[in-house]
Amino acid sequence: MIPPVVIPLSAEMHPQFVTHRLASLDALCVLESAVQHAHLGRYSYVMADPWFLSDEYNVQPSTDPLSPIAKVMKNLPFERQPELPPFQGGFAGVLSYEAGRAFDRMPSARHRDFLIPDFSMSFYDVVFAWDHIENRGWLISQGWPEIKPAARATRATARARQFMNLLEQKVTDLTPQIPPKGDISYRSLESLSAPSFALAGHDNIWSNFRREDYLQAVDRVIEYIRAGDIFQANLTQRLLTPQTIPSLQIWERLRQHNPSPFMAFWQRPKWSLLSASPERFLKIEKQSVETRPIKGTRRRQGAEADLFLRDELRESRKDVAENVMIVDLLRNDLSRVCRAGSVNVPALCEVETYRTVQHLVSVVTGELSEPFDSWDALRACFPGGSITGAPKVRATEIIAELEPTTRGPYTGTLFYMTPDLWCDSSILIRTFIASEGWLQLGVGGGIVVNSDPVQEFEETLTKASGMLAALTRPHSSE
pLDDT in tens, 398-428: 999 999 999 999 999 999 999 999 999 999 9
| Contacts made by residues 369-375, CB under 8 angstroms, sequence distance 24+ | 369/337, 369/338, 369/339, 369/340, 369/342, 372/337, 372/338, 373/421, 374/284, 374/417, 374/421, 374/422, 374/423, 375/66, 375/67, 375/69, 375/70, 375/417, 375/421
- Name residue 303's amino acid: A
Residue 178 has pLDDT above 60, yes or no: no
Residue 98 has pLDDT above 90, yes or no: yes
Q: Give the pLDDT score at 183.
A: 44
Least confident window among 28-42, 285-299, 361-375: 28-42
What pLDDT band is residue 105 in, cutting at 50, 70 and 90? confident
Q: Which of 384, 410, 413, 388 is nearest to 399 (CA)?
A: 388
CA 1/CA 87 separation, integer angstroms: 18
Which is it for strands 423-427 and 413-417: parallel, antiparallel or unpaired?
antiparallel
Question: Mean pLDDT score of the chain, rounded to an integer?
Answer: 92
Residue 37 has pLDDT above 70, yes or no: no
Domains by residue range for the chain, with CATH: 5-173+185-472 (3.60.120.10)
3-state class (DSSP) for residue 322? helix
Residues 422-442, mean pLDDT to the nearest whole number: 97
Q: Give the pLDDT score at 39.
A: 73
Q: Give the pLDDT score at 212.
A: 98
Q: Which residue would you say has higher pLDDT here, 306 or 270?
A: 270
In terms of Cβ atoms closer than 10 Å to its own Cβ (0-12, 13-18, 19+), residue 53 is: middle
Q: What secondary structure does DSSP assign to 61-88, as a single string?
A: TT--THHHHHHHHHTS-----TTS-S--
Q: Which residue would you say has higher pLDDT here, 430 or 194?
A: 430
pLDDT in tens, 367-381: 999 999 999 999 999
What pLDDT band is residue 301 in, cutting at 50, 70 and 90? confident
